[in-house]
Amino acid sequence: MNTYYPVYIQLREQPCVVIGGGKIAEGKVQGLLAAGAKVTVVSPELTSHLHELVEQNQITYMARAYQAGDLTGAFMVICATDQVEINHKVWQEASTNRQLVNVVDDTPRCNFIAPAILRKGDLTLAISTAGKAPALAVRLKERLQEQLGTEYERFLELSGQLREPLARRVPDFETRKALWYELVDSDALNLLAQGDEPAALETISQIVGFRFEPA
């Protein structure tokens, strides 16, 4: 049984190569761009949206089939073709290069797997089934999407502005940690969900012991 170590990887300005130009590759490219990666796509054909990204200079395009050496310098490789021979060759080259590589829908030829991802501002939830049932991960993501409202996004925005002043006023880590748990367990999130931010800010101020006025 494969046991995966879940991590979040910083891809900003990192070179990533996607082999394939179909709908699945398009989704992978979108995810990489959202993370700030520098993306190169290798494929004889592209979807219309990928063509738009090329025209907008958002991705680099090599208009041909994969060739040995195309992965040189890449930090991460994603192979999304329906050609078994190419998939195997990409896996072999990436493995030799000790690169992060994912051959879509071929778990034995992946040294990382991509989870279903739910984003609410700075809140990111990654759901994985260890490659056994990606559809289940997607359904769980959809359920959580319905349950988690915009109040979580706003709460994190406020939390980001609160961290520095709270650290100045409460230098003891254990005390500060207890306050954060009290904030999370308070009714601040419910008040934000109801659209009553002034009441939420009052609750936060009472808990931390000083007037919190976000920018």
49 and 73 housed in the same domain: yes
Q: Is the pLDDT of residue 23 over 80?
A: yes
4 and 93 housed in the same domain: yes
| CATH number of residue 13's parent domain | 3.40.50.720
Q: Order of strands across the sheet with 100-103?
A: 59-62, 38-42, 15-19, 76-79, 100-103
6 and 41 housed in the same domain: yes
Residue 184 φ then ψ, to 5°: -65, -35
pLDDT in the model for residue 7? 87
58 and 110 housed in the same domain: yes
Q: Is 209 left (phi over 0), alpha (psi -120 to 50) or beta?
A: left
Instruction: Find the DSSP H helices in 148-215.
Output: 150-169, 173-185, 188-193, 197-208
Domain count of the fold of the chain: 3
pLDDT in the model for residue 1? 60
136 and 102 housed in the same domain: no
Q: Is the pLDDT of residue 215 over 90?
A: no
185 and 138 housed in the same domain: no
Least confident of 19-33, 113-127, 152-166: 113-127
pLDDT in the model for residue 114? 85
8 and 99 housed in the same domain: yes
What residues make up the domain containing 177?
150-208
96 and 45 housed in the same domain: yes
Q: Is the pLDDT of residue 192 over 90?
A: yes
Q: State whether residue 58 is helix, strand or coil.
A: coil
Least confident of 2-6, 90-94, 134-138, 195-199: 2-6
Contact 21, 47 (CB under 8 A): yes
Q: Of the candidates 62, 97, 114, which is a domain's last residue? A: 114
pLDDT in the model for residue 145? 92
Q: Who contacts 187 (Cβ-Cβ below 8 Å, separation ≥6)?
A: 203
Instruction: Tell me the average pLDDT across 43-51.
Output: 97
Q: Of the candidates 147, 168, 193, which is a domain's last residue? A: 147
Instruction: Tell me the average pLDDT across 182-198.
Output: 97
Q: Who contacts 156 (Cβ-Cβ below 8 Å, separation ≥6)?
A: 121, 122, 123
Instruction: Tell me the average pLDDT across 98-103.
Output: 97
- 180: pLDDT confidence band, cut at 50, 70 and 90? very high
| CA dist., res. 4 & res. 113, Å (int) | 8
pTM comes to 0.77
Mean pLDDT of the chain: 95
69 and 80 housed in the same domain: yes
Contact 158, 214 (CB under 8 A): yes
Q: State whether residue 19 is helix, strand or coil.
A: strand
